Amino acid sequence: DWLGVTQPSSSAGDPFDWTPNTQTLIRELADEIPPPVRDLDSLFLATLARKPTKLERDSASGYSSRDIIFALVHGSEFMTND
């Protein structure tokens, strides 16, 4: 610091001195998160501890995983499952 002027550090121009930015950190964290479960058997096993019947499998086609989980959690079988 000479007369109020800050001198750049010697590493300021170093091309190997890399500091990750926010976008890079978010991307790295997102890579560690597993993708959401989309398998119908896994959804049923996780919520009701059983696999879906043929009728349930047929009626679930066309719905998103989010909709299926909502229906499973709000159903009477989930509420009384021990």
Give the pLDDT of residue 59: 92
Burial bucket for residue 3 (CB in 10 Å: 0-12, 13-18, 19+): exposed
Q: 52 and 41 in contact (C-beta within 8 Å)? A: yes
Give the pLDDT of residue 52: 93
Listed as own residue / partner, the contacts of 16-25 with beta carbons closer than 8 Å and 24 or more positions apart are: none
Q: What is the pLDDT along the chain (82 residues), one digit of tens a residue?
A: 455 555 555 555 666 666 778 888 888 887 777 666 568 999 999 999 999 999 999 999 889 888 999 999 998 888 765 5
pTM comes to 0.52
Give the pLDDT of residue 1: 46
